[in-house]
Structure 1
């Protein structure tokens, strides 16, 4: 049984969170995908994250990683198979597509495949315009140009 979430009370008291509400509503409506390939998502720092996917038997040429509109997509399809007759298949080799919604300003820093694990490092990089900045506060003294302007106006 699936619970239906109503976000309308939150819409009345919050501004600018439309994308978050859309993501939550979409996740509630979307059927749960199969859980293959298995993965871990880890926060490794203040603005650094890592996704580790278990991809035994896949090579670099079998994988594709794309980022578009805050959606990270990892696609895999094995191009080569074992030589000979398969008596038992215990290692999955089916094609897959795994999608991850990324927050604003998330960038893929690197991706590496080693020992059957695909490691994707992500990093949040805020543009300069969004970083905190210090605003200088003026004092009671007037700047020299302001003082001359006031003297001319008084004369």
Structure 2
């Protein structure tokens, strides 16, 4: 059985990520599976949302696992044993993987969807209620 690879430095996911093009984002060294991170449009009345989309061609729903462990989003893929066809060319990777993302404080996983070989994970940071507290002033003696 092949070993599951883990990227050396997990990518921090949050709304303060900055511009990834500028190079300020730590990128994991292992490129498998490739992924996108997008900010979903929102307005003032809706909580902020992000979507991570991983290209997981060849994996079924039962071969993928999405977990949140101690403010880390962990995505694992392990393909079940199958009869190997006699490939003339094999360009679709069939290896195990583990991809870890550090979640910014307050981030929560809303949903995970597998469609057309793409695993999409929606993240949300609920809007915090603005709390107004009156502080009493006491007179010093």
Q: Which has the higher contact order (CA 8 A, sep 6+)?
A: 2
What is the Cα-based RMSD across aligned positions, in Å?
2.6
Q: Is the aligned partner of 1:95 residue 2:93?
A: no
Question: Structure 2 matches for 1:1-150, cutoff 5 A?
Answer: 32-44=28-40, 45=42, 47-81=48-82, 83-125=84-126, 131-135=129-133
Structure 2: give runs of 5+ residues left out of the alignment.
1-24, 137-141
- Structure 2 CA distance, aligned partners of 1:137 and 1:63? 51
Q: Which has the higher strand share?
A: 2
Inter-CA distance 87–104: structure 2 relative to 1 (3 Å threshold): same
Q: Which has the higher helix share?
A: 1
CA offsets 1:32-72 (integer angstroms, 9 cap, x no match): 52111010001113611100111111100110011011100
Whose Rg is larger?
1
TM (norm. structure 2) is 0.66
Deviation at 1:74, TM superposition (A): 0.2
Q: Any runs of at least 4 consecutive aligned residues in structure 1 with deviations exceeding 4 A, and if so which?
A: 135-138
Inter-CA distance 89–74: structure 2 relative to 1 (3 Å threshold): same
- Structure 1 CA distance, aligned partners of 2:97 and 2:108? 23
The number of residue pairs the alignment matches comes to: 107
